[in-house]
Each structure stands twice: as C-alpha cells, then as structure tokens.
Amino acid sequence: MNKRPISPALETAADRLRRGGLVAFPTETVYGLGANALDSRAVAGIFEAKGRPRFDPLIVHVADPAAVRGIVTKCNRKATQLIDRFWPGPLTLVLPKSEIIPDIVTSGLPTVAVRMPDHPMALELIRAAGVPVAAPSANRFGCLSPTTPAHVREQLGDRIDLILDGGACAVGVESTILDLTETSPVLLRPGGTPIEAIVPIIGRVTMAHERSDRPRAPGQLSSHYAPRTRLMILSDEAPDPAACHRAGHLCLRSPQLDVPATRIEVLSRSGDLREAAANLFSALHRLDNLGLDIIYAEQMPEAGLGKAIMNRLRKASAAFSSTAKRPRFHDNP
Ligand code: TXA
Ligand code: MG
C-alpha cells in the first residue's frame, strides 16, 4: 500500500500504537486519542486516560474506505453512497459491527462507529500502524475538545505516550455521526459535515433527541464539551449588568448584545460559519483560561456548521444547569 517514507515521529507513533500505547494525533476535526482498535487492553487505556465511562463507545478510524469492510458486517447502499461522497472527511457512520472489533470499543453495542479522517498525518499514522485506530477526542471526559497539541497537553499530557503535532485542526468541531443501522438514517451528532449536504444524497434523516439524558447513543449526553467556567447562551437580551462579574463574550462577527465583558472573542469577522467552527474550541479554551466568572455566548445561525456550533454551546451550557452532573474534572482542575 503506502510505500512512501514517513517521518521518524510518525514511525515512532505507529510503533507505539502497535505495541498497545496511546497516541494523540491530529485530524481535520479535533485531536484524537488513538489506540489499536483490535487490542482491548490498549483501548481500556483510552477510557482510563480520559476518565471516560465505559458505556460511551469509541469511533474506529480507518485510512482507506475499503478497510470498513473488515470492521462492519454490512455496508448498505446509503453507507456506500456517503463514503463515496464524503470520505475522507468529518462524517462518522454507525453500522453493524464485525466480530473482529472488541466489545470494549463499542461498549457492548452490536454496532460500530467508523470514519476516515481527512488529515495526512492521521492517515499516514493509521497506515503505518497497519491497524484500525479507536480514538475519541483527546480531552478529559466531558471537557472542551482539543484543536491544538497544546490543548491535548493541558488535559492529557502526563497520561499518554505521545502527541503528534499537526498544528491547528481545520474543521474544529467533531464529525457528524449518522446511524445507518435503522430503516431511516438517524443523526446522532451534528458536526463537520453539514446535514444539508447529506440529505440530497440519502434522503430523509431523523434527528436524535439531542437533549435526552437517556440517549440512543450512550455518548450523546446533553452535558458535554464544557469549559470549567460557567457558560450561558444569550438569546435576545443582554444579561443583567448587576449579574456580571468578570465575563467573557463569545460572538460570531461582532458583539450584537451589550455585555460588559473583560474579553471578547469573535469567531469570524466575515460571519463565515466554517471559520467560526474552526475557531470555536480555541476561543473557548482561551476564555476558560482567564479565570472568569462566566462566559456569555451569543446565538449563531443554525445552518450548515452553525448547527454543530450551537450543539456544542448548548451542551457546554447544560453542564452548568442545576440538573446536569458536572464532569469530575471540573472539581479537580
Ligand atoms: O471528529 C470526531 O469524530 C473525533 C475525531 C477524533 O475523530 N472523535 C470524536 O470522538 O469526537 P468522541 O469519542 O469524542 O465522540 C464519539 C461519539 C460518542 O458520543 C459516542 O457515543 C458515539 O460517537 N458513538 C461511538 N460509537 C457509537 C455507536 N456504535 N453507536 C452510537 N454512537 C456511537
Ligand atoms: Mg469527545
């Protein structure tokens, strides 16, 4: 297959993976924390390093569309059409799992989530390792996703074998997840591939209940992607000035609401939602590191990547609602 020489860093990373180690690597969406998907012990290490509950299954990454055949038992017509159109890219497909994938990867589900990332380093790593790579986002469970190597180092630096540096992630939000095991496809997570681009190819897509804490996908918790700082989404009104202490303000092209903020983060001056998605987690990490009392986020248009952005902001704010359980990491920053 791939006979081109690869860099020593990639060679080392691939070797670590083959030997059961944990390697953080760049993808076009966010950094992943990879382990050999065929090695249960190695995969167990991912759950430990992240502090992730075992009921939250992982995505298996492949470097070639044909590799999906070894991982799933059936690749139906819709799956083939989507793979042809969107891979490599930020689209994860849930399909019936083959025996070769250990139960720990899928949390005992009869299905497996699989995707081919669109990042040369990720693809070279998977090819060089010669195995499918199970990888969640490389952050502590429930916390902000990493879009730079520094983000990974902050949360997981002392818990993993190495971090491959591929710079900042171009897409910046996680892949779209589509369950193709039912008669009608179900959107489990809006992400880097806009649903508007998927529907013309496979027809109607059912939306999973985004806000349910009894999710059809065990990992679709309503509270997730959360900064340590409380986050609140502003709808049409600015917050009561008396309630603001040291506040951060996250907006799309310029502040639309009058918030007395210590720091303003603009996601895209031109209002481009792709650019905004690419900047989202970095902006949240910066705000989160300022030790503010609150982060106010303005609503963004819910079209294209705006859906993924608002999904992440809602989950981040849900982490601070009275009913949601905050991830343990928050108590121990
Ligand atoms: O862009 C991405 O998808 C990144 C990069 C690293 O590829 N990965 C990522 O993984 O976001 P993670 O683990 O943070 O999110 C994966 C989600 C989880 O919420 C999990 O519940 C869901 O995928 N998932 C995995 N396997 C599933 C399955 N068999 N059925 C339903 N949902 C599944
Ligand atoms: Mg994640």
Question: Residue 16 pLDDT more than 90?
Answer: yes
User: Cβ(150)–Cβ(136) under 8 Å?
Assistant: no
What's the CATH code of the domain at 25?
Answer: 3.90.870.10
Question: Measured from the CA of 175, which atom of ligand 1 is nearest?
Answer: 1
Q: Using alpha carbons only, what angle is made at residue 94 by residues 90 and 98, rounded to the nearest 5 degrees?
A: 125
Letter for the amino acid at 22? Answer: L
Domain co-membership, 196 together with 238: no
Question: Residue 161 pLDDT more than 60?
Answer: yes
Tally of domains within the chain: 2
The span from the CA of 260 to the CA of 247, in Å, is 7
Kindly state the average pLDDT of the residues 233-254: 84
Question: Residue 302 pLDDT more than 90?
Answer: yes
Domain co-membership, 50 together with 161: yes
Question: Residue 152 pLDDT more than 60?
Answer: yes
Domain co-membership, 298 together with 179: no
pLDDT at 325: 42
Q: Where a domain ends, among 207, 223, 246?
A: 207
Atom 17 of ligand 1, nearest CA residue: 219
Domain co-membership, 191 together with 236: no
Kindly state the average pLDDT of the residues 121-150: 97
Kindly state the average pLDDT of the residues 68-91: 97
Q: 63's torsion region: left (phi>0), alpha (psi -120 to 50) or beta?
A: alpha
pLDDT at 245: 76
Domain co-membership, 117 together with 164: yes
pLDDT at 224: 74
Domain co-membership, 198 together with 271: no
> What are the tens digits of pLDDT across the range 203-243?
999 988 643 444 555 456 666 778 999 999 998 677 777 66
Question: Residue 180 pLDDT more than 60?
Answer: yes
Kindly state the average pLDDT of the residues 94-120: 97
* Mean pLDDT for all residues in the chain: 90
The span from the CA of 82 to the CA of 35, in Å, is 26
DSSP class of 173: S
With respect to residue 332, please indicate whether it lies within any of the assigned structural domains: no
Kindly state the average pLDDT of the residues 184-197: 96
pLDDT at 210: 42
pLDDT at 217: 56
Q: Which residues line ligand 1 (CB under 6 A)?
A: 27, 29-30, 32, 56-59, 90, 92, 94, 106, 109, 111-113, 117, 135-137, 174-175, 177, 188, 217-220
**Protein residues near ligand 2, an ion, with CB under 5 A:** 137
Question: Residue 4 pLDDT more than 80?
Answer: no
With respect to residue 159, please indicate whether it lies within any of the assigned structural domains: yes
Domain co-membership, 173 together with 265: no
With respect to residue 218, please indicate whether it lies within any of the assigned structural domains: no
pLDDT at 5: 75
Helices (H), ranges, the chain: 8-18, 40-50, 77-86, 103-106, 120-129, 149-156, 195-202, 273-288, 305-318
pLDDT at 208: 85
With respect to residue 162, please indicate whether it lies within any of the assigned structural domains: yes
With respect to residue 215, please indicate whether it lies within any of the assigned structural domains: no
The span from the CA of 30 to the CA of 143, in Å, is 13
Rg (the chain; Cα; Å):
19
pLDDT at 117: 98
Kindly state the average pLDDT of the residues 98-106: 97
Domain co-membership, 160 together with 292: no
User: Cβ(26)–Cβ(119) under 8 Å?
Assistant: yes
pLDDT at 260: 86
Q: Where a domain ends, among 191, 207, 223?
A: 207
Domain co-membership, 35 together with 158: yes
pLDDT at 244: 61
Kindly state the average pLDDT of the residues 23-49: 98
Range(s) of the domain holding residue 128: 8-207
The span from the CA of 175 to the CA of 193, in Å, is 7
pLDDT at 3: 58
Domain co-membership, 127 together with 203: yes
Pocket test for ligand 1, best of 73, 92, 216 (most atoms within 8 A of CB): 92
Domain co-membership, 187 together with 236: no
> What are the tens digits of pLDDT across the range 306-316?
999 999 999 99
Q: Using DSSP, state whether 33 is helix, strand or coil.
A: strand
Domain co-membership, 156 together with 279: no
With respect to residue 32, please indicate whether it lies within any of the assigned structural domains: yes
HSE-CB for 28 with a 13 A CA cutoff:
21
What's the CATH code of the domain at 296?
Answer: 3.40.50.11030
With respect to residue 122, please indicate whether it lies within any of the assigned structural domains: yes
| Phi and psi torsions of 292, nearest 5° | -80, 165
CA–centroid distance for 96 within its chain: 22
HSE-CB for 166 with a 13 A CA cutoff:
26
With respect to residue 324, please indicate whether it lies within any of the assigned structural domains: no
Per-residue tokens: 153: 């180092």
